[in-house]
């Protein structure tokens, strides 16, 4: 890596970390119950314990901030990998229907365990990502089947198929949620819109193992994503098992997306926006793009959650809706560029 590129990459990471910490601080101190820096520091360091501050910080705000950061990290990295596999800048787990498939499987889980989700134990929360993984795999399988043409994946058909599959899963999720009792229906509706308002420490513990295992595995294969930008014949001449590696990378991405969807609902466009911003900042090499994508994803979800819960007070706008307001125009812009 050239010296100037390394300096640019390091500076980008430092700025992202500062922005993430700043956004996290504002999320921690802002809300109906205002706190000062001193209150937060004393509570976190257990200098001056106060039950009111303990409740607000440890039971409500800190788990929510951590879930927002972890979900953004996972979706940003998964988006970079999916775009690298498909060689399509319009690809994203939400646009391609993987979020929709994972979400439908989790709604199905809620449907079969009606009345028990609100008091779900840790075991149930650990099982939900596995349901999501099955749904995401089903969505990916359908998308690749319908996008396969002349012995390869047609990237144009990939996007259109993904949008259709996503719409179909969305309709099925809505149908299942309408069959639920009132309390579960409300929970499913809020969850489908992409919300982290009900985050807790069990959610954090359920998603962390997936990220700790899958993100390093994907990062180790980052060089393959660079090779996938070449012609397939050129890659095979280097001794790379193209289809096998693509399947492994796709499985890792779907696993991350499923774990994130299980705790936050269907949050789209993080995986679409993050790689485009990252490539503008640090270039196209995936060993730099993947970490920066994770940081940008964290910042996007944290910032969207902060906007959703503060600007529209006393109402609260789900983070998925805030991101859609940003992401839909950008997606249309990218689509118009692709056609041009």
Mean pLDDT of the chain: 84
228 C-beta neighbours (distance < 10 Å), count: 19
Which two tokens mark 86? 């498909």
Whole-number Cα distances in Å, 201 to 18, 58, 122, 140: 24, 9, 10, 30
Tens of pLDDT, residue by residue over 229-288, are: 877 777 777 777 877 888 889 889 988 998 898 888 888 889 989 999 999 999 889 999
Mean pLDDT across 308-328 = 84
Give yes or no for a contact between 125 and 203, defined as CB atoms under 8 angstroms apart. Answer: yes
pLDDT of residue 339: 57
pLDDT at 14 over 90: yes
- Would you list the DSSP string of 281-330? HH-S-HHHHHHHHHHHHHHHHHHHHHHHHHTTTTS---HHHHHHHHHHHH
The DSSP call for residue 259 is H
Lowest mean pLDDT across 50-64, 178-192, 259-273: 178-192
Residue of higher predicted confidence among 171 and 46: 171
Give yes or no for a contact between 163 and 97, defined as CB atoms under 8 angstroms apart. Answer: yes
| Torsion 295-298-301-304 (CA) sign | negative
pLDDT band at 196 (very low <50, low <70, confident <90, very high): confident
Angle 166-168-174 (CA atoms, 0-180°, nearest 5)? 100
Give yes or no for a contact between 254 and 140, defined as CB atoms under 8 angstroms apart. Answer: yes
pLDDT band at 3 (very low <50, low <70, confident <90, very high): very low
pLDDT of residue 309: 86
- Would you list the DSSP string of 105-149? HHHHHHHHTTTTSTT--HHHHHHHHHHHHHHHHHHHHHHHHHHEE
pLDDT at 319 over 50: yes
Mean pLDDT across 10-14 = 94
φ, ψ of residue 268 in degrees (nearest 5): -100, 170
Total domain count, the chain: 1
Tens of pLDDT, residue by residue over 89-134, are: 878 888 788 888 888 888 888 887 765 555 555 566 667 778 888 8
Residue 115: which CATH number?
A: 1.10.3470.10
- Would you list the DSSP string of 179-192? TS-HHHHHHHHHHH
- Residue 152 in 3-state DSSP? strand
What pTM does this model have?
A: 0.89
Give the separation between CA 162 and CA 166, rounded to whole angstroms. 6
Give yes or no for a contact between 162 and 97, defined as CB atoms under 8 angstroms apart. Answer: yes
pLDDT of residue 1: 52
Give the separation between CA 16 and CA 6, rounded to whole angstroms. 15
**Mean pLDDT: which of 24-28, 40-44, 50-54 is highest?**
24-28
pLDDT band at 140 (very low <50, low <70, confident <90, very high): confident
pLDDT at 198 over 80: no
Q: Can the peptide bond before residue 218 be classed as cis, meaning omega within 30 degrees of 0?
A: no
- Residue 72 in 3-state DSSP? helix
Residue matched to tokens 């409300």:
186
Which two tokens mark 44? 């976190």
- Residue 184 in 3-state DSSP? helix
Which two tokens mark 272? 């679409």
pLDDT band at 4 (very low <50, low <70, confident <90, very high): low
Residue of higher predicted confidence among 302 and 147: 302
Give the separation between CA 247 and CA 193, rounded to whole angstroms. 29
Mean pLDDT across 176-189 = 79
Structural domain boundaries enclosing 43: 3-339
pLDDT band at 77 (very low <50, low <70, confident <90, very high): very high
């Amino acid at each position: 890596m050239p010296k100037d590129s390394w300096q640019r990459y390091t500076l980008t990471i430092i700025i992202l970390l500062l922005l993430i910490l700043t956004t996290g601080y504002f999320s921690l101190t802002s809300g109906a119950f205002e706190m000062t820096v001193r209150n937060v520091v004393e509570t976190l360091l257990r200098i001056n314990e106060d039950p009111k501050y303990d409740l607000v910080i440890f039971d409500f705000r800190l788990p929510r901030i951590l879930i927002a950061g972890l979900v953004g990290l996972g979706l940003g990295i998964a988006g970079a990998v999916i775009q690298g596999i498909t060689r399509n800048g319009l690809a994203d787990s939400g646009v391609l229907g993987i979020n929709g498939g994972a979400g439908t499987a989790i709604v199905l889980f809620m449907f079969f365990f009606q009345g028990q989700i609100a008091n779900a134990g840790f075991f149930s929360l650990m099982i939900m990502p596995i349901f999501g993984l099955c749904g995401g795999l089903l969505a990916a399988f359908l998308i690749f089947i319908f996008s396969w043409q002349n012995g390869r994946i047609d990237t144009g058909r990939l996007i259109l198929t993904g949008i259709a599959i996503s719409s179909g899963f969305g309709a099925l999720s809505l149908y299942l949620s309408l069959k639920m009792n009132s309390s579960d229906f409300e929970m499913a509706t809020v969850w489908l819109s992409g919300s982290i308002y009900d985050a807790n420490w069990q959610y954090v513990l359920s998603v962390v193992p997936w990220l700790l295992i899958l993100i390093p595995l994907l990062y180790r294969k980052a060089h393959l994503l660079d090779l996938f930008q070449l012609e397939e014949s050129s890659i095979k001449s280097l001794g790379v098992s193209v289809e096998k590696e693509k399947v492994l990378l796709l499985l890792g991405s779907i696993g991350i997306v499923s774990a994130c969807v299980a705790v936050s609902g269907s949050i789209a466009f993080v995986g679409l926006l993050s790689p485009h911003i990252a490539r503008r900042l640090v270039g196209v090499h995936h060993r730099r793009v993947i970490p920066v994508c994770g940081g940008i994803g964290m910042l996007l979800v944290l910032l969207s959650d902060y906007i959703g819960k503060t600007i529209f007070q006393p109402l609260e706008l789900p983070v998925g809706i805030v991101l859609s307001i940003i992401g839909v125009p950008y997606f249309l812009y990218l689509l118009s560029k692709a056609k041009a």
